């Protein structure tokens, strides 16, 4: 799936995450900021990558500002951002 335009999903509320996605020429870049970076940083990045892979996104810049969201919330926010930014939608 191609990302055609910048899009976002989520909020900056506690226990949520704000996810932004942008088109990128080549490959995936994930920028992560989190209040639980030390404790869950790796798990969050893995969740983001899994959603992108499952949706077939190969080129995108994804910025995640995490406020302590549960794994299911992170995944839902990433999925929503991808759907909003896709080119074939």
- Footprint on this chain of another protein (rule: CB under 8 A): 14-15, 35-40, 42-43, 67-71
The nearer residue to another protein, 16 or 20, going by C-beta atoms, is: 16
Q: How far is the CB of 82 from another protein (least distance, A)?
A: 22
Compute the C-alpha angle 15/19/23, nearest 5°. Answer: 170
Shortest CB 42 distance to another protein, Å: 7
In the bound state with another protein, the residue whose beta carbon lies nearer, of 23 and 68, is 68
**Least distance (Å) from another protein to the CB of residue 41?**
8
Whichever of 26 and 38 has its CB closer to another protein, that residue is: 38
Neighbours of 5 (CB within 10 A): 11
d(CA 27, CA 72): 24
């Amino acid at each position: 799936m191609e990302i055609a335009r910048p899009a976002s999903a989520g909020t900056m509320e506690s226990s949520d995450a704000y996810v932004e996605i942008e088109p990128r020429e080549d490959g995936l870049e994930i920028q992560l900021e989190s209040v639980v970076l030390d404790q869950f940083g790796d798990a969050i990045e893995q969740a983001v990558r899994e959603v992108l892979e499952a949706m077939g996104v190969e080129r995108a810049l994804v910025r995640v500002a995490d406020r302590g969201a549960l794994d299911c919330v992170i995944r839902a926010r990433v999925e929503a951002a991808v759907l909003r930014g896709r080119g074939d939608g």
